[in-house]
Structure 1
Amino acid sequence: MADVKLNVALFYKRLNLLIKSWKDGNGPDVESLQSTGGILLVAGNTDESNPYKKTGALQTFLLGYEFPSTLTFITHDSVTFLCSESKAKILTPLAKPRSSDLDPDDNLKVDVKVIVKPKDPTAATEAMETVLASMEEVSSKDQKLGRLLKDKYTGKFVDEWNSFLKTKGKEALVEQAADISPGVSVILATKDAQEIEYTEVACQMAHKLMSVLCNQMTNLIETEKKITHEKLGDLIEGKLEDANLWKGAKYAPDFDNTYADLCYTPIIQSGGEYDLRTSAQSTTERLKDTGIILASLGIRYKSYCSNVSRTIMIDPHPTQEANYKYLLELQKFALEAMKEDVAAKDFFSTVKSKVATDRAELESRLPKSFGFSLGIEFRDSFLTLSPKCSRVLKENMIFSLILSFADIEDPFDSSKTYSLQLIDTVRVGKEGSTIVCDGLKELSHIAFFFNDKPSKSKNGKSQNAGKSTAASPTKKSSSPRKGGAAVVTTSRKGRLRNDGKEIDNEATAKRKIHQKELAERRQEEGLSKYAEDDGTGKGSEVKQWKRFESFPRERDLPSAVASLRIIVDTNKRSFILPINGFAVPFHINTLKNVVKQEEGDYTVLRFMLVAPGQITGKKEDTPFEDPNATFIRGLTYRSTDNEHMNEVYKKVTDLKKAVLKREKDQAEKADVVDQDQLIPITHRRPIKMLDINVRPAFDVKRQAGDVEIHTNGIRYQSTIRSDHRIDILFNNIKHIFFQPCDQELIVILHIHFKSPIFIGKKKTKDIQFYREASEATFDETGNRKRRRQNNGGDEDEIEAEQEERKKRAELNKHFKSFADKIADASDGRLEVDMPFRELGFQGVPFRSSVLLQPTTECLVHLIEPPFLVVTLTEVEVAHLERIQYGLKNFDLVFVFKDFTKTPIHINTIPSGQIENVKEWIDSCDIPFSEGPVNLNWTAIMKTVTDDPYEFFKEGGWSFLNSQSDEEDEDGNSDDEDSAFEVSDDIYESSSDDSDSASDFDESASDSSGSSASGAASGSGSEALDWSDQEKQAARADQNKKKGAAESSSKNKKGKKGRDPSDDDDSDVSIDSEEEAKKQKKKKAPARKR
């Protein structure tokens, strides 16, 4: 909440409305409120099992946000907040409003106080005593306190407040408070312009999702795919986070779909069993392809809720159509009857009387309530459209209008029943109510025909067999319970992004026990594995000092050294510098960089040499034979022979680049293993798959080829070029995956290697054979489902779609068969794995968000490069980062058992997937932990590899869990503080390792040298002078020191060098190690992290 800014003007506007309604309101609902002198709101930790509480609703109404672990005390002339320091910073602007924030027409003067509750117990008691004094002042005037008695909060903040009251003997003061819930409900029920706008956006988003559901469901029925109600609801829930779905939407000037959440998990019901209560939930039964389907969903935008439900009819009977048409007629009548100054119970009686008059047989099928007030709370139980509610409707009240007929005898089967339901979000007006966002409910929109037998509509015209007659269906969902509690479902993907539903407590408890067992097992394995370690760690690489020899003897020096000029010997990979009349050779590996600079008629060359403790890193990072010896760190030469100096500069830089490139190529080939020779099949024709594309390709242009199965491996041969051949041996295949083209554009056979191979000049650990699933374009206008009024259809389009599905099925079968044959040919060494799309989740493993799918042994992304294959058996632990209330996504880190491997980061996973990810990781027997911030894994892994046994001896990975445990113990009131007070170096810093990069990197362009030297302009402003270089060294040293995982030092000192203007006019200057040590005594200003 650190970046939250409150709307001060809106706060005072709504506060004045609350106080005026409190003072001047009339009616039985506000009597209890008027009898009080102060309103006490004590909010504890966020309750994910019941996110809809009136305390939070009143906070959101006034402040625009819900503030957990905060006490609010409101009187007629003052408002007092008691909260943590981080929340106090957000609330402070309310205490000092500008004149522009106050309405000049309001004469109400309110004093706002923000009191910080410190962590120190003594200071916290003093802060709470200030609030208690205000409460006693109200009590002294023979006035009661007002509370929202139904709201039950828990947490550290609430416990401390209750303990304080008990200590002071003031429990009775709070226990005798009056319940003001009805009065608050009436005040919140009438919406202002901004609240109505947010509700309209929520309704428009809900209708958009309902349209998506219609297309999704009709496609499933048309293609005869099986899916459960629960799974279909989860699919639609996932669409809320699909940015592409909301791209271009202009529901409001500042519309942002990330402010939206589901009020409850969408629920689908079909098959004759329907639950029309608001506490209904999906079942695990399969979606039926005939009969009546009910669908409901609700979206909350910027805390304001909407609710919509539709009936979808598949091959309906004429009597079912007639009953639904009457339901539409009844809704129209209800909207006219629902207007200002009408009591809720009178409205109920009016609607029920119409049904009794028109269709008496349907009167008993009506619900017991026709809806409820809708707003920040999903369901306000104090304001319902029922025969027991005498409250009067007012203009700009928002209701969820619920009309339904339950358990009507099924005309197709008398032993079964069906139900019809129609729910919309409506706004009360003076002369009637209006639907906030209407649509998707006409019979032509929700009736579909897939039967081979023609079905007759009202006008008697038969519908074509096999064609749907509508464009959009709807669904029934699990609505919140009374009081706003979210409904529990057993769906793996049922967890909402922010609100969260109740998770199965038993399953969660079992998972915690299992995770504890896994963590203990990892700890025991670590201690056992590294018990005999020598303390250096197997993964730590001890860098060896390398000796470079330029010229073994003096006579091997070139004769040109007699001229005492700078000589570059490419063959010996050395350069020779004249120093005090002697020719001194230097190997190119001793050179860090060379800088050319123009100074008047002179060209200056500065040779920066490698020495301990320089920018390249710490002294121990660069091994030397004797690090304590005296080193030459730099030499400066200047000459008026500009042509020669430019030539020397070019030769040195070219030589350095060539050496670095050679070393890089050698390092790249270090892990490449020479494969055995492929043994071709000679006694018969090999099994072959023709016309296959390969990734990575030999050339930029895509080429097709054939894949053959041989004795000990497979071979890819391009059909265009004979030299484009790839041999893959079974003994080098680690995983083989088959991914069908369902919901994708390509079908894939993917191979992940044990050791990388070269394809052309590219080193790769993955190769992929694929074929496009569709090569022809087809109509994507969404008009495949023809409405009932259209008696004909585009037969060519239907035939093309059928051919498309047939082709995809054949491709899947062909590739799967070939993959199985590869596994058979490997004599049991390989097993074909296949991704589980239903378990997939979105994440960013590289630069873009992709769908990551678990397989039996791995987590993969195979659709487009770069590919991701994480072998789960190689994972030591998993860690979930950025697990904080209010964040829309989190990160996942996999740490491998081979500690020398860099941990894999998967970023920006939607928070709605967190329970699915946890459950999947737990099912793979991988211990996981979670924390509120990103960690510096480079520093952590260095600590682990330095001494693994000591690491496990001190608790191993338990420190990851301790981070989240500390957050839980502090409560939500301190979440914000902890996130910004971290100084430990295990948290990710902004250290930049680029300082240590060489100026001769291969990626540097050839023109970089001329750029650094100022080209022909003679300007030296682009080159680094000594001072700049030493400052850069200071920053690098500071960042390098931050690399230790256990270090907590903050403001490290750097080193500052001398300015080159201090040099004398000599042509050669030598900086010794002793001089450098003296310079390091000068402290550079510490940079704040």
Structure 2
Amino acid sequence: MADVKLDVSLFYGRLNLLIQSWKDANEPDGEKLQSTGGILLVAGNTDDSNPYKKTGALQTFLLGYEFPSTLTFITHDSVIFLCSESKAKILNSLVKPSSDQLSGNLNIDVQVIVKPKDSAAATSAMETVLASIEDVVSQDKKIGRLVKDKYTGKFVDEWNSFLKTKGKEDLIEQASDVSPAVSLILAVKDAQEREYTEVACKMAQKLMSVMCNQMTNLIETEKKITHEKLADLIEGKLEDVNVWQGAKYAPDFDNTYADLCYTPIIQSGGEYDLRTSAQSNSERLKDKGIILASLGIRYKSYCSNVSRTIMIDPHPTQEANYNYLLELQKFALGELKEGIAANDFLNTVKSKVAADRAELESCLPKSFGFSLGIEFRDSFLTLSSKCTRILKQNMIFSLTISLADIEDPFDSAKYYSLQLIDTVRVGKERSTILCDGLKELSHIAFFFNDKPSKSKNGKSQTTGKPASASPNKSTHSPRKAGAAVVTTSRKGRLRNDGKEIDNEATAKRKLHQKELAERRQEEGLSKYAEDDGTGKGSEVKQWKRFESFPRERDLPSAVASLRIIVDTNKRSFILPINGFAVPFHINTLKNVVKQEEGDYTVLRFMLVAPGQITGKKEDTPFEDPNATFIRGLTYRSTDNEHMNEVYKKVTDLKKAVLKREKDQAEKADVVDQDQLIEIKTRRPIKMLDISVRPSFDGKRQAGDVEIHTNGIRYQSTLRSDHRIDILFNNIKHIFFQPCDQELFVILHIHFKSPIFIGKKKTKDIQFFREASEATFDETGNRKRRRQNNGGDEDEIEAEQDERRKRSELNKHFKSFADKIADASDGRLEVDMPFRELGFQGVPFRSSVLLQPTTECLVHLVEPPFLVVTLTEVEVAHLERIQYGLKNFDLVFVFKDFTKTPIHINTIPSGQIENVKEWIDSCDIPFSEGPVNLNWSAIMKTVTDDPYEFFKEGGWSFLNSQSDEEDEDGHSDDEDSAFEVSDGVYGSSSDDSDSGSDFDEDASDSSGGSSGSAEASGSGSEALDWSDQEKRAARADQKKKKGAGESSSNTKKPRGREPSDDSDSDVSIDSEEEAKKQKKKKAPARKR
């Protein structure tokens, strides 16, 4: 408070007003003042939770500032201040003023008493004040105080302790409450107070305009934001100098003197609280319906209040009600005038509503406003039925005209509210709004959608924007966006190989899945409640500034020739335009085209500009999209050699820049690892003669793996520069896979962040050793040919040696993996695949054995490797679950929606129950559907607005899809053969019944139970192993002889041929899609 200077004239002028009103008090609320000889104000520490207290208001009224930890005692002829030394320096300016600073014939003695830090001296100072109080009491006068103000702090505690010591607590406790009388004195504002209030109103109106623009922009661009976040955003605008630039609300206007009376209140979505204590909640701002926005600004301690109703695609009845609200406010302004009692004003307004619109009378508020000034809300002067005070000219009120809980015309189960608040000044004939605006229906009603919809009364109305492409809406469901529904017949179904599904276990699994789905839904709503709706998937690209040459003198000297010059160092090319050398950065170039036209060579430079269709870069941001852009420049010259050279340099430069950007993007998620701390005190634990994948140069190399303090190191034995350091803090999973039934024993590490091995980026590294080597014993072979027993002893001995070697390798690798885990201080645990739970599938291009572990689903045998961390999986979805299909697909959707879902295709249908049971045991909710979904479109919808996605049902659309199919698509009485559509939701894998070579290869490579018979469309009876081997042999022979495809000799499937008649029960969404289906069915007819 060192810079505070008091306005002495203002102090004495307002003190004179206070004392004169005190002496002349003749109103009911002023009766206590007549018997009061002194007013005692004891202010403690500043209370941020409740800044509006009458003690502070009276201090501000008199002094222009609030003085915490200060005692003020006012009588008819004196004012005593008890405060600290620093405050006393400021208040001393009030002592012995000059004659021109005094107001009227006021003769008041002002005394400033310093309360020292020393307790004895402080007691002496407080005794001086107490003596003045006792002097007033001795004259049979009471002490007045503001009873409702409760202060805390050291100053207040010391004062109360002093009174208790002196036995004078009753003297203060029995004091009269003069709050109502002080309230009436402060209610009438002088010229300066009205000026400050008017400035506060203008600022509030400006900020309300900013808020409305912000809201409408968010709605128009379909960006989502919560009420709380929008309120915080608007609160930050108060200190934004750009908002107040050029504002001249007063000659000495300074926006730094302003503060918010309360955090802006924003409400939408059918739940409205019209009280001043309402708060913005964490719900999303709705893009249709009624939005209520309220805010108040305090300028130089004087408050204002404003509230507006924003209407998005309103119903005509809502517009009519709002117009009546405007009419009602005009009527209220005419009735709110000097001489009327507050309760009479309320009754007058209510009578008008009862006469005009009786159905709205119950929607009116209990209070039409309150007096405001230094205090935001004066509870002693409200426009309610309980307040009988007479209004006076120049009183300032927050006038509230509102209608609450009106039935929503779009939904009878919901309600809406309308509110209009303005700060008004009471006049002799009527009240006037201190800053009017943003009120007419044309200013606050916005229409973003011209699509008509019917309200509950059947009339066609404009309602909201079109439904978003959320996957759980039936009109935009991924299943119904052009894909043909697959149906089957009994004859096309596969047998279940005699297995019976345990109904009780299935029921338990369904119940567990329901609980998991509900949990995911709740987690999603909670997680994304604060999301602003832009989503990671729709992040706006940032505009990048490119600078070729900062100054003109930096241009190369060759520009004087006015020829096209390419500067590779500056990544720029310089074009002559009208005699000037104009540089262009290579990033501004879209492409360059060279053409030969007779003796001329023509170069066309096509530049990047807004509005162009440039594929993936069509959303390229620009600093000012409304600026004038050059889209293309054409040059021609007979100097063909130079033009060819320019063309080559420009294209090479463009390629180099694109390659550099690609390399940077590839390295974006690569983190710099810490330095490996080597063990110096002893020899590190080491495993010798180990191969690594991926390798440095693509060739298998032997090396050693060492365990150090904070990680492990691989060192090639052939080249010293082939070294890989792996830190424990970057290891996400470590797997040990034994060589049982495999060619290799494997120690596999999956990283948290990728690293580079040579020039290859990888998230996995694998150390392995071959389990057995191919050996040929020519001597033994001859021996076996000479002996009659066939040499079984040698064969048995070789098998035993191999088993022993495999066992030793497993033990060696497992021990080393455990030592790595121990060295990590418990951060790592060695995981191991469960082969017995494995199943065949196609995660990439070939069918492999996928094996669950404790935390993951993995394929580690050969690259590309697959590691799916199950705790990161949001949901799993089983696709192509239909009778008659011999395999299905599995999709894992990650909790990080920006990650591409993992597809595992062509899983044998015989494994479906095992897969479901395993997924359920991992606490992952799963669903199933009859067709492949377009996951790129689904994930785009999810990432665009995750909160809205979960609010509209989340992943429940996946289950509802399969339920609809069960209801509509399947019938046991139908006899049509199944048909599969590839529609817009075509799978990444082909159906096994299509007879493709891919399935034969997958079956052969997997060695699983599916066999080649499935790929060739077998009959009703399954083939055993000998039949399958014979068929495979015949197929190989025919391929060698060039006899055509092996599928030509396969049995013809039973049932009718796929046809286009109505019995096939195939739903196709368009005529064009039907033509595609006929083309796809043609090969089946040929067969």
TM-score (norm 2): 0.45
If you compute each CA radius of gyration, which structure gives the higher value, 1 or 2? 2
For CA contacts below 8 A with separation 6 or more, give which structure has more relative contact order: 1
